[in-house]
Amino acid sequence: MSYFSPGKITQRYAFEVRPRFHSFPVTGKVPPSNSARSRITRRYLSPRYPALDTARSGCVTFARHAEQKCLTPPQHRCYALASSKKAPGESMLTQTEADQFMHMAKHFVRPPAIITIPPGADDTYELAGPNNRETFLLDVWRGTLRLSKLKYQNRVQTAVILVRLDVDGAPHTNPDGERLSGTHLHLFKEGFDDKWAHAVDRALFTVLSDPGKTFHDFCAFCKIETPPSVQGGIV
């Protein structure tokens, strides 16, 4: 009997589309990992399965609890989740928009009285533009064992990284092959997002061993006005 005969197709696909390391069935509401997505795509395009007779089966479900979905012909079937990844070279912002956000004055929405950056710190602060129309995020992170390892990050639209300063982290390799030390500055670049990094200008970031001073230098670089004081000094 064909795998796609009525009464068999729902259970067959519920088994075949299930990612190897997931305990839940894949539906349109649960995006699988890249490896699972690749396996899903290969299985749909695999010659092991006969062509789907849409006249006989019509709408089928990928899992028992999924909503019914119409399948396209096998030669065009890549499953919606397989194409959800952003195309290479595609950015959510243009370079002009990113530059405008970088140079826009920002302020803390709920400014804390004081900021502490203890070992293991992983805090996010909400920022806004001059008219509170644009929202930004400021991330402050510090290593647990290696206390000199720091990360300061300015984001827009929740997920777009405009600026990130890595201090005493892992070395970074730019798309052109240039290799930088563990202390470097990432800047948004259209088509590459935050994959490009630059050497840190010591005239702008003067005391990288001091988390508090580096925090204020980073705020000045990102045009964040009136940052709160940082408790403690060099640790």
| Dist CA 70 CA 60 (whole Å) | 6
- β-strand 107-108 against 69-70: which pairing, if any? unpaired
Which backbone phi and psi does 140 adopt, to 5 degrees? -125, 120
The alpha carbons of the chain give a radius of gyration, in whole angstroms, of 24
This prediction's pTM = 0.62
The continuous run of DSSP H or E covering 135 comes out as strand 135-142
pLDDT at residue 70 greater than cutoff 60: no
| Greatest mean pLDDT among 27-41, 66-80, 87-101 | 87-101
What order do you get walking across the sheet with 150-156 strand by strand?
107-108, 122-128, 135-142, 150-156, 160-167, 184-187, 197-198
pLDDT value, residue 82 = 33
Higher-pLDDT residue of 140, 21: 140
Q: How confident is the model at residue 161 (pLDDT cuts 50, 70, 90)?
A: very high
Residue 156, both tokens: 């827009």
pLDDT value, residue 62 = 34
